[in-house]
Amino acid sequence: AEAARRPAMTRGAGGGASRSTRPAAATALDERMMRLALRLASRGDGRTHPNPSVGAVVYRGDRILGRGTTRPVGGSHAEVVAIAAARRRHGEAALRGASIAVTLEPCSFVGRTGACTQAILDAGLGRVVGGCRDPHERVSGRGFARLRRAGLTVVSGVLEDECRHQHRGFRSVCERGRPHVTLKLATTLDGRIATATGESRWITGEAARAFVHRLRDASDAVLVGSGTALADDPALTVRRGDRVVRTPIRVLLDGRLRVPASARLFAPPEECMGEERAGGPPENRTWIVCAAGRRGLAAARRRAARVIEAPSSRNGHVDLVAVFERLAEAGLTTVLVEGGGSLAAALLRADLVDEVHWMLAPKLIGGDGRAALGPLERTRLADAVSIEPIRVRRLGQDLHVHGRVRRPIERAASTRRTSRKRSRREGA
């Protein structure tokens, strides 16, 4: 943690900055406030891109003065929202010397909004409890450093793993140049997503389907391929019961522009549910990704909010690595993929899947059903896609398996560690 690497700055008796010989340490109260900040951060998931959804809590002792969640792009960051709430409810004096817990290192530069470090200093806060370092090249430790130089006590790395997970999309864009990709699969126990005739509604029960809608709600975008769009005609809205509550950006991967304008992906949410629309038309939130230079681009631009052209790979399909780089450039940080077996396998082969949610229904269809995954081209068991840590739970009558996809370099490192341990044991 940052606090362990640098000595804390504390205010001396005269109010000036003095350097402590011991690093600042987090307390149980700090961790409790950080957990609250994480809950606040999750409320903005899918709504703040390209910015991360951050949570912040201003507190003095165990008294909460203000709470904040990052506003949609162009709006205030979480620290500013929390400070404003504390000032409004308790007055300026209550802020002096108080603490703030924030899930991501405060930004230290002026962009669409002012620097959060300056807002913290202007408020007179005395202590900053940080979750994880901001990976953005213009911050990356500079926010914490500026606050320390100003004499504030900074404790960083509090619930760091949880905070890194909360900001996994933003981190992925900063560090890898692409969004965090989550693959959702809903299958029978024998790994089938439909019968031989294509019937798939519904393999899983209501509880599992409701959970998928929560996944959509927390994502910047939901992506399907043209095969799924043609076979299932999904709306990809977020529903509670029969009511549409939100439409994330819907990304259609349609390399050859085969999906017709009549598809529900291109309809506004109200039309998807067969309801009367009042007022003007809702915002078009459907993007098309296609191969560069395809015929029909003009028509595609008329029915989609955005058309993204990507190069083709050697096999003639759209280059998936380039696709996700383009999506990051367009501002997306998290993408939920709900495609069929071919797209899922292609993403896994390209090492583009970061997280998997697999819903398993207690049903069997048999080998003539449609498989959840196409060929992965793994000839050795050691090369199998490894998913961990695994969480398994029941959702109604179905099973939910959730895990993180281990990168090939991680698997290799794990194998080397195991080999070294075995060598030491054998040598002993």
The confidence band for 422, taking pLDDT boundaries of 50, 70 and 90, is very low
Q: What is the DSSP string of 369-423?
A: SEESS------SGGGS--EEEEEEEEETTEEEEEEEEPPHHHHHHHHHHHHHHHH
Share above pLDDT 90 across residues of the chain, in percent, rounded to a whole number: 64
Is a pLDDT exceeding 80 seen at residue 12?
no
Q: Does domain 176-412 have CATH number 3.40.430.10?
A: yes
State yes or no: is 329 an active-site residue: no
Is a pLDDT exceeding 80 seen at residue 283?
no
What pLDDT is attached to residue 58? 97
Q: Which amino acid is at 273?
A: M
Rounded CA-CA distance 369/188 in Å is 10
pLDDT tens digits for range 317-350: 899 999 999 999 999 999 999 989 999 999 999 9
What pLDDT is attached to residue 275? 42
Rounded CA-CA distance 390/110 in Å is 40
pLDDT tens digits for range 174-187: 999 999 999 999 99
pLDDT tens digits for range 208-220: 999 999 999 999 9
Share above pLDDT 70 across residues of the chain, in percent, rounded to a whole number: 85
Is a pLDDT exceeding 80 seen at residue 149?
yes
Q: Which residue among 2, 79, 105, 338 is the active-site one?
A: 79
Enter the CATH code of domain 2-171: 3.40.140.10
Residue 156 is encoded by which pair of tokens?
A: 């960083």
What pLDDT is attached to residue 90? 94
What pLDDT is attached to residue 180? 98
The confidence band for 418, taking pLDDT boundaries of 50, 70 and 90, is very low
Residue 109 is encoded by which pair of tokens?
A: 């530069």
Rounded CA-CA distance 343/320 in Å is 10
The model's pTM: 0.85
pLDDT tens digits for range 124-144: 999 999 999 999 888 888 889
What pLDDT is attached to residue 23? 60
pLDDT tens digits for range 20-32: 445 678 899 999 9
Q: So where are the chain's domains?
A: 2-171, 176-412
Is a pLDDT exceeding 90 seen at residue 296?
no
